[in-house]
Structure 1
């Protein structure tokens, strides 16, 4: 991180702000937050540019019609990227780096990150939602399944950390 960068926002204040954004989403859009549907619809649009007939005839992408980008989560996803970029530039935190422990090679870290990202992306589409939608939106309306999911998510994260902790600095 750049030495002239400002300190990060207080996490409690950030949580309140996120709650306000979620509340605004419910009031304005009538629905909550999420990300994976936006990414999937962008993939459908890209595939549709190259293989329009194939895309239209697939069970998954074809159900979204000829205009898969006409969906609020596409714009929410794009806005999140643009907002994060503006924030990073404005706070002088924009840098390209690979975070890893001393004992983990760069290629191993990249390989694990790609495999993990593909698995999480596939699972989120299989479940018809991502962790942010499940945790934020489902948790906000106190859905039992979402609360159980959150407990399982954190428990599995701690359990997984046990097996990979040797790759990072002590």
Structure 2
């Protein structure tokens, strides 16, 4: 991740800010700040389009109805925010495998 000057951002600062945001979101809303549940709900939402009967029979989705909620919008925001950031800092590139993993 890079800042506006094209310099790498400090991972310790980013981690500290993410931790502070997590504490504040729990304190003010009583809900944990995260995105893991939205991946399951997104899969159920997409599967519901193709096979609603199968989703209706799954025990998890009997309690949790797949829908677009704030966590789903959070995941969309992560994607769009990172795209805008990479375009703004001119670091955007399409690659299948990151350089560090080669």
TM range (shorter): 0.7 to 0.9
Q: How does 1:29-68 map to 2 (within 5 A)?
A: 29-65=29-65, 68=66
Deviation beyond 4 Å, 4+ runs, structure 1: none
* Structure 2 partner of 1:93: 91
- Structure 1 residue runs without a partner (length 5+): 102-170
User: Once superposed, what is the RMSD of the aligned Cα atoms?
Assistant: 2.0
Q: How does 1:110-121 map to 2 (within 5 A)?
A: none
User: 1:25 and 1:32 mapped to 2: Cα distance?
Assistant: 7
| Structure of greater Rg | 1
Alpha-carbon spacing, 1:44–1:23, altered in 2? closer, same or farther (3 Å): same
TM-score normalized by structure 1? 0.49
- Structure 2 residue runs without a partner (length 5+): none
Q: CA offset at residue 70 of structure 1?
A: 4.2
Give the secondary-structure state (helix, strand or coil) at the position aligned to 2:19. helix
User: 1:75 and 1:24 mapped to 2: Cα distance?
Assistant: 19
